[in-house]
Each structure stands twice: as C-alpha cells, then as structure tokens.
Structure 1
C-alpha cells in the first residue's frame, strides 16, 4: 500500500476511535477486533500478541502496553515512552516498528486498563530505535518528533514533553478508568451521555497527592464538574452532595433549580466495586475547602 494512502487509512481509524473514546473513555477488545472504518471493518489489535502488524500495511498499526505484563514499558525521564522489543529477536515483529519510524507513520498505543479494556493513545510516533537497550522510543505527540535527540532532552524540551505526556497519556487514562468505574454516568445526577462526562480530581493534580487514580476521582457531567471545581458544589466524606448556600438562595431559572439546587442533600451514585469508590479522606480534605469557600 502506498504510504500516503496508508496514512489516510490510519487517520480514518483514529477518527473512529476518537468517537468511541469521547463517549465511553475506553475501547474493548471486541470493538478493536472489528472496528467500523469506511465501508468495512478493520482489526486494530492482534489476537494474542502485543504488537499488531497487518499484512496489507507497511508498518505496525498498534502496540499494547500492560502495566501487569512481562515487558518493562516505561516512561523515559517522564517525557517519552519506551516500548520494549518483542522478545527473542531484534527483527521479527520489530521490523514493522522500524518501518513506522522510517516512514513517519503514526501508530496506536493501547494502554490496558482491565483485561480486554484499553485506553487508546494516538497518534503516537516511533522517534528512535534504541538498539542497545532493545526498545523503541515513542513520542505521544507529533511535535515531539522533532527533538534533535529524543534520548537526551534539554531542560526546555523535557518540560514541554512532560506537559504533553500529561495531556496525551495520563489524562485520557484517568478519564477512561473513572468512566469505566462509574459505568459512564455522572455520580451526582446520573447523566449517562459520555460526551458530557469528565473525570474530576478530588485533590487537584497541582498538588503532590493529587494523583490520577480512581480513588481520587469522580465522574461528573460538565456542569457539575465546573461547579465542583468552583466550590459551588461539594461532596462530603459520607458521599452526600452539598450546594453552596448563596447559590441555594438564588433564583435563576430551571437550570439552576434542577441542575444544582435540587442536588443538595443527594447521595452519590457510587461504583459497584468498593475499590473504585472515592477516598473518604480525600473527600474530607476537599470538603473542608468547599466549606471554607462559603
């Protein structure tokens, strides 16, 4: 296949994945095995291996990264991402990863959230073949492709790359885990439209303990996320919703009345798995901030 035609096909695949992720936060193996693309379907993941090299494509299409797997995939200085060679050879399945590098064709990084459930990160670019360490270096954004030496970043490059990795890897994974835990619904009002749902930090990610983990997150629709961030809506450590007193006294139409005021005193819709429920200690800390704000 001509590389330009292949690039267009990959962009069509990315567009379809983006639609699924916007609604659900994650994509399942079943969806990846027969993804509707154009007038047909495309397999986006290998049946049993972590790297998918379709015969009709010049380069690798996707790689799976599983934190619980046998390979030591890792961040490189918190800026780029390392993907280990497939075991046993420097060639084999790795050949098409090198072609992705040589042809500048973007690939998909599938981050395992649960067995058979992934957060796809795309487009991802192979920017270096680190032969001595038997790994490829992946850039999670096109702008990172143009660093002069991906393995030895300057301080300015590293700062920029860290921000990019946060946006392209950590935030989508956090949202995927949260939406999966809360079954794609707002914990306050139970709205189920995924495109209107965010993953909200209880303790903000600007603080050292504001980690992107499920116990530090809430699935909130956009209006309740904005209200939570603005301390107009609080959540007690007993999982009860509270609305700012001044807001409760306002009169401003049905959105205020039904969307916020009627939520006061409501209990959260919690994840079914106890391990996925928000930390009471974190909620208490954040609730103190809400009370202090009035």
Structure 2
C-alpha cells in the first residue's frame, strides 16, 4: 500500500496526546490502540528496530532497545559531539531495505517516531516524536537524528555536513530538552514504579525524576542510577538542600535540615518534612542495578551537610 496522506502527522499528534505531551511512557499494548481512519495501524516494529510498513517508501518508526545499566545494546548507537544521536544502519549493507527506508525519510524530510525502551514489565517505551534524520555518516554506517518540531528546523547539509557553531549549540540544548530529559524521566519513574522515593506518593503527574548529582555537574549523567522519583515538594526540598539522603549499607535514610526541624509551622511542614527525618526511603527500585549509585548519594549528602553547617554557623 502507498503511505496514506496525513498518517504520520495524525500518529504523532495521537502519541503526543496519549503521552501527556511526552511525559509518560507507553507499553506496546498502549501503542496498539492507535487508529487511522477508524482502522488499527501498527506504529512500532514487532521485532526489528526499524519499521517501514510494506510498500512504504520511507521508515515510519524506530526502536532503541532497553538495556539495564552496564548492559550493552545490540547496536552501538551513541551521542555525537554535537549532542545529536546516532542510529546505526541495519547490518553493513547501505542498500538494505531498512537503511534505504531511513535514507528516504531523510531525503524527503519526513518525521519519524522514536520509541526508546525504558524498562518495566511489560516493557515500556518513551516516545520522541517528531524526529528527523538530518544526516547520514556512511563511513560510520549510521544516521544522525534530531528531535525537531518540524522540517523547517533541519539544517542545510553542505560540504562535510558541518553545522555552524551557533546551530550546534542550539541543537545540543534542544536535544537535551526534547529527548534526554523525557527518556531520563520515564526510565526513573518506571524503576520506582511511579512512587516517590521519600513519601511513596503514587501519582505520576505530580512526580519528577530528580537528578542526585545535578546535570550541570560533570558527574550528573542522565542515568537511572543518578536519579530518584520524587514528588514536587520533596524534589524542591532535595534541590534546595532542606532534605538530604544519607547513604547506608541498606536503604538510604532521609534527613531534614536542622533549622527546619526547629521551626514551628503548620501540618505541611510537620507531616511533609519533619516527621520523615531519620526514616528510610519508602520506595527503592526492586532491581539493584536501578538503585541510586552510592558515589552519587555521597556527593549529594556532603553537599547537604555543608549547607546545614553553613546555616548553623
């Protein structure tokens, strides 16, 4: 069949709405709910990483398989120095139909959908859409992806396909906002089963994926071991160093800054912060590989203690 007019745009808009503007992840069953003109239409590959429906000229969607921390993916996809993601060819034949499909999407400036595995049982996927293929690096057998809002943002591919410095900075920033932050959030929330680590609050719309070591620091990588699911108030308290997490051999322990413990206020302060002092985290990931890295907790706890010492002084 020839690709139906409007299918990509309809599917992308449906995914944006279904994921609450890309804030929540989806299972394959969720994705299978999509209908186009009243009929079911598959958006995600069954097994392979690249999905080009029969007789479509160009790729419709791609998948990045979830791997737990420390495990390698089947394809060595990676970030480039420009902050953009590289997606490997299928095999090493440039004329493999799946590689041709990606090339056609690039040449025709067609948006595709990117499903990134973030764990869970059944597996869940963070949706990034639209995504455009902005370049092909044939010597490295890979395509360059950018999470752009529309084709007008695609840079010109000139000699050597180099972007100007200002555009590179823009693309690096936008890639973090549109791709890495949502993937990090979904990965962390899946690991914590949509519960706040501190208070066990269980409404994903009011949960954040908090960096233990801020992403402004070199060690602040967007990895599940550098994240905790926290409700809005405990995320703010953690970032402002009103609340610290003390590493232990077992479950880390919550500590509240002394000046807040001494303060007398209403029930929010008493129940929301003071009564948590000295108690273990209420929720940690069931998989040890997903739990906070001890080195990251130590970094953040020392920062919390220094803030406490400065206030007491």
Q: What is the alpha-carbon distance in structure 2 between the residues aligned to residue 19 and residue 41 of structure 1?
A: 21
TM-score, normalised via structure 1 length: 0.85
Retained in 1: the 8 A contact 2:45–2:63?
Answer: no
Cα 1:214–1:11 change in 2 (3 A) is closer
Q: What is the alpha-carbon distance in structure 2 between the residues aligned to residue 182 and residue 62 of structure 1?
A: 28
Q: CA RMSD in A?
A: 2.8
The structural deviation recorded for 1:97 is: 2.6
The structural deviation recorded for 1:140 is: 1.7
Match of 1:141 among 144, 148, 151: 148
The structural deviation recorded for 1:182 is: 1.0
Match of 1:119 among 114, 126, 129: 126
Matches within 5 A, 1:201-280: 201-238=211-248, 239-268=252-281, 269-280=283-294
SS of equivalent residue, structure 1 residue 93:
helix
Retained in 2: the 8 A contact 1:139–1:145?
Answer: no
Q: Which moved more, 1:125-134 or 1:75-84?
A: 125-134
The structural deviation recorded for 1:2 is: 7.6
Retained in 2: the 8 A contact 1:21–1:27?
Answer: no
Retained in 2: the 8 A contact 1:101–1:127?
Answer: yes
SS of equivalent residue, structure 2 residue 300:
helix
1:284 aligned onto 2:277: no
Q: What is the alpha-carbon distance in structure 1 between the residues aligned to residue 86 and residue 55 of structure 2?
A: 26
1:62 corresponds in structure 2 to 61
Match of 2:167 among 152, 157, 173: 157
Retained in 1: the 8 A contact 2:188–2:224?
Answer: yes
Cα 1:47–1:55 change in 2 (3 A) is same
Retained in 1: the 8 A contact 2:15–2:127?
Answer: no
Match of 1:184 among 168, 171, 194: 194
Q: What is the alpha-carbon distance in structure 2 between the residues aligned to residue 279 and residue 84 of structure 1?
A: 30
Match of 1:76 among 77, 80, 96: 80
1:35 corresponds in structure 2 to 33
Q: Which moved more, 1:212-221 or 1:189-198?
A: 212-221
Q: What is the alpha-carbon distance in structure 2 between the residues aligned to residue 220 and residue 54 of structure 1?
A: 40
Retained in 1: the 8 A contact 2:213–2:300?
Answer: yes
Retained in 2: the 8 A contact 1:81–1:140?
Answer: no
Q: Which moved more, 1:268-277 or 1:185-194?
A: 268-277
Q: Which moved more, 1:214-223 or 1:142-151?
A: 142-151
SS of equivalent residue, structure 1 residue 293:
helix
Q: Which moved more, 1:213-222 or 1:255-264?
A: 255-264
Q: Which moved more, 1:236-245 or 1:76-85?
A: 76-85
Q: How many residues align?
A: 291
Q: What is the alpha-carbon distance in structure 1 between the residues aligned to residue 300 and residue 139 of structure 2?
A: 47
SS of equivalent residue, structure 1 residue 242:
strand
Retained in 2: the 8 A contact 1:110–1:121?
Answer: yes
The structural deviation recorded for 1:262 is: 2.3
Cα 1:16–1:54 change in 2 (3 A) is farther
Retained in 2: the 8 A contact 1:121–1:140?
Answer: yes
Q: What is the alpha-carbon distance in structure 2 between the residues aligned to residue 134 and residue 98 of structure 1?
A: 12
Q: 5+ unaligned residues in a row in structure 1: which ranges?
A: none
2:311 corresponds in structure 1 to none
Q: What is the alpha-carbon distance in structure 2 between the residues aligned to residue 168 and residue 211 of structure 1?
A: 16
